[in-house]
């Protein structure tokens, strides 16, 4: 029986799902899978890209853990592709590789002044409040009025974390340094801007509802944004998700805080629609001083056009939440425009000739871009795995496919890796840290401390 030695780079949902699907697939060969992860802990964006007050979304970790705990997948954590291992290494020891490295950088927003002091990418802020080991421990929260550009779930996550009171995050797994930073936050007003209208937003009803549940935070919406055109009315009538979003927003219009009138909370979260970003205005020291935008209007087809009306809002910080972007991998084709590995249904392609790259596959956001929810990752992985199984004739021919070769190679290079038992130790340690305080866990942030605990 043919033996398939497969490497998967990235131990987030995309990588773990791909491994699980392949192991469960009907096949005529044995499969041995090694997962490589650059962080000491698995789960990728579920651990480091979902806000700590989202336990329902984080519940997917339970399913991922069940896959790993079967014991038929090896994990090599704290191993960086391109530094600790290369594509040539993988060719020597495996028949194929699936890249599931995701998209963790911010998409750029090309407007004047976006490089001002106090202008941030949402992905960096998310990494900070999720305790990512490779970002600074402190975050500047000295601005009273903040703008968030974007109308997706990440934009609402950022806005909610900025507006929410720090003590209300204590029951979650928020790291201690993040809690301390939020305690000292000067934020009083968070303004979320979207280029289109309420019927065209990209966030989900769940994310929107959570904004309305914030303690001591007034939700402010503006009547001028709800003069719907026929396309918006049709979207509300035909799409249940849009209908629910509209109902939530309409209920907020009845609150006394609407249009910035009344309201007694110490913080306010404003939702602005039909706002096209034009410029981040800097002060004499190069810091953010205001946000300039153009008022838009519906074009009758679900899009918008400019009205020529310019507006400016004084702010001291701005966050762009306009999407994530993939990062290139050494030796692997990369589409710089879309931030993905060029591919046909997960089969990597040479970017110039569009010919197949033998043995190289992609799944998740590095395959399709940062679109879709975590659930979409399963069907995405199934497509990639189906091609991998059918491509047996084009697999690599490894020199040494033995399972002992990888630990020996990493040890010879001085790479200090973590494994599944190590993750269990770290997991138990974090839960134990939180237990005396009634918290889900207290996340360990420093990489060296994570590795030390994992390796006991």
Query: pLDDT digit string (tens) for 375-424?
Result: 678 889 999 999 999 998 899 999 999 999 999 999 999 999 999 999 99
pLDDT tier for residue 62 given thresholds of 50, 70 and 90: confident
Mean pLDDT within 11-25: 93
Helices 153-163 and 122-129 pack at an angle, to 10 degrees, of 50
Provide the percentage of residues in the chain whose pLDDT is more than 70. 96
HEC assignment per residue over the chain: CEEEEEEEECCCHHHHHHHHHHHHCCCCEEEEEEEEECCCCCCCHHHHCCCCCCHHHHCHHHHHHHHHCCCCEEEEECCCECCCECHHHHHHHCCEEEECCCCCEECCCCCCCCCCECEEEHHHHHHHHCCCCCCCCCCCCCCCEEEEECCCHHHHHHHHHHHCCHHHHCCCCCCHHHHHHHHCCCCCEEEEECCCCHHHCCCCHHHHHHHCCCCCEEEECCHHHHCCCHHHHHHHHHCHHHHHHHHHHHHHHCCCCHHHCCCCCCEEEEEECCEEEEEEEECCCCEEEEEEEEEEEECCCCCEEEEEEEEEEECCEEEECCCEECCCCCCCCCECCCCECCEECCEEECCCCCCEEEEEEECCHHHHCCCCCCCHHHHHHHHHHHHHHHCHHHCCCCCCCCCCHHHHHHHHCCCCCECHHHHHHHHHHHHHHHHHHCCCCCCCCCHHHHHHHHCC
Asked whether the predicted pLDDT for residue 449 surpasses 90, the reply is yes
Mean pLDDT within 103-131: 94
d(CA 269, CA 325): 27
Mean pLDDT within 85-99: 98
Asked whether the predicted pLDDT for residue 28 surpasses 70, the reply is no
pLDDT tier for residue 262 given thresholds of 50, 70 and 90: low
Asked whether the predicted pLDDT for residue 78 surpasses 60, the reply is yes
Asked whether the predicted pLDDT for residue 258 surpasses 60, the reply is no
- Domains of the chain, start order: 2-104+327-417 (3.40.50.720), 105-320 (3.50.50.60)
pLDDT tier for residue 300 given thresholds of 50, 70 and 90: confident
More confident residue, 455 or 60: 455
pLDDT of 256:
59
Mean pLDDT within 58-63: 81
More confident residue, 259 or 210: 210
pLDDT tier for residue 330 given thresholds of 50, 70 and 90: very high
pLDDT of 405:
97
Provide the percentage of residues in the chain whose pLDDT is more than 90. 80
pLDDT of 27:
66
More confident residue, 132 or 300: 132
pLDDT of 401:
95
């Amino acid at each position: 029986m043919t033996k398939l030695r497969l490497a998967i780079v990235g131990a987030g949902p995309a990588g773990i799902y791909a491994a699980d699907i392949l192991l469960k697939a009907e096949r005529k060969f044995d499969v041995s899978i090694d997962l490589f992860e650059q962080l000491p802990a698995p789960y990728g964006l579920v651990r480091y890209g979902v806000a700590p007050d989202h336990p329902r979304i984080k519940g997917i970790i339970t399913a991922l853990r069940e896959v790993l705990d079967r014991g038929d997948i090896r994990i090599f954590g704290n191993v960086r592709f391109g530094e600790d291992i290369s594509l040539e290494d993988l060719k020597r020891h495996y028949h194929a590789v699936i890249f599931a490295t995701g998209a963790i950088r911010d998409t750029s927003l090309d407007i004047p002044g976006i490089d001002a002091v106090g202008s941030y990418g949402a992905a960096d802020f998310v990494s900070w409040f999720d305790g990512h080991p490779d970002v600074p421990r402190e975050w500047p929260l000295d601005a009273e009025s903040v703008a968030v550009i974007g109308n997706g779930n990440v934009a609402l996550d950022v806005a909610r974390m900025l507006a929410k009171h720090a003590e209300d995050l204590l029951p979650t797994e928020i790291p201690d340094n993040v809690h301390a930073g939020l305690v000292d936050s000067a934020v009083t007003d968070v303004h979320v801007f979207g280029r289109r209208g309420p019927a065209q937003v990209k966030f989900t009803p769940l994310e929107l509802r959570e904004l309305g549940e914030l303690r001591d935070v007034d939700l402010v919406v503006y009547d001028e944004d709800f003069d719907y055109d026929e396309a918006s009315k049709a979207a509300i009538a035909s799409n249940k998700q849009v209908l629910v979003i509209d109902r939530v927003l309409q209920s907020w219009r009845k609150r006394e805080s609407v249009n910035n009138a009344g309201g007694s909370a110490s913080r306010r979260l404003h939702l602005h629609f039909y706002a096209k970003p034009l410029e981040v205005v800097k002060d004499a020291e190069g810091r953010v001083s205001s946000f300039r935008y153009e008022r838009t209007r519906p074009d009758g087809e679900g899009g918008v056009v400019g009205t020529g009306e310019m507006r400016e809002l004084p702010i001291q910080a701005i966050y762009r939440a306009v999407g994530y972007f993939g990062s290139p991998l050494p030796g692997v084709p990369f589409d710089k425009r879309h931030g993905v590995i060029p591919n046909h249904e997960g089969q990597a392609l040479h970017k110039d000739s569009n010919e197949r790259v033998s043995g190289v596959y992609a799944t998740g956001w590095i395959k399709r871009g940062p679109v879709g929810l975590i659930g979409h990752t399963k069907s995405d992985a199934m497509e990639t795995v189906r091609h991998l199984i059918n491509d047996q004739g084009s697999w690599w021919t490894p020199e040494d496919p033995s399972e002992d070769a990888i630990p020996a190679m990493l040890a010879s290079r001085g790479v200090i890796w973590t494994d599944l038992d190590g993750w269990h130790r770290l997991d138990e340690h974090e839960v134990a840290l939180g237990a005396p305080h009634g918290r889900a866990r207290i996340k360990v942030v420093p990489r060296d401390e994570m590795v030390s605990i994992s390796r006991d």
